[in-house]
Structures are given as C-alpha cells and as structure tokens.
Amino acid sequence: GSGCDTDWIQSGDVISDSTRAAPHTTYGMTKACGELLLSDYSRRGFLDGRGVRLPTVIVRPGKPNAATTSCFSSVIREPL
C-alpha cells in the first residue's frame, strides 16, 4: 500500500478472498509474496497447496507463562 488514509482497511469494509493485498510492512509483504507463490504454483499444478492464516503464534518454547498466546501453546503442547 501507499500509506494513504484510503489505503487502510476501515471498520465497515468487507474482506474476502478477492480483497487486494496491500501490506504496509516488510513482514506483511513477505507474507503476501508467500501466499501469491503458493497460489500460483497451485494454479499451475506444481503442487496442491493450501494457505492457513493463523491468528497468533501457536507454540512458545518453555513453560507456560502469562502471555495471551500461552493458552494456545498449551493446546498443542499438552496431550488431550
């Protein structure tokens, strides 16, 4: 994105799979590039790919702590 006020997602905007990616950081740009490569390789038949956007870091190393993501880490770390 250009950084223009109109380039940012507003609270009333509807987001779908066809929404244009407009990352504002290097991190966001690399995620968008990875998704585009996966999509292109899948479309060309090089692989059967699926992209998953996780809402947070799932597993933190070490003992559980007070971090918000600790509850998600426990889901993976602890057997059910």
Q: Two tokens at 45?
A: 């038949």
Helix (H, G, I), strand (E, B) or coil at 43: helix
Catalytic residues: 27
Q: In sequence order, what are the residues at sequence separation of 6 or more whose Cβ sits closer than 8 angstroms to the Cβ of residue 10?
A: none
Residue 9, Ramachandran bin (φ over 0: left; ψ between -120 and 50: alpha; else beta): beta
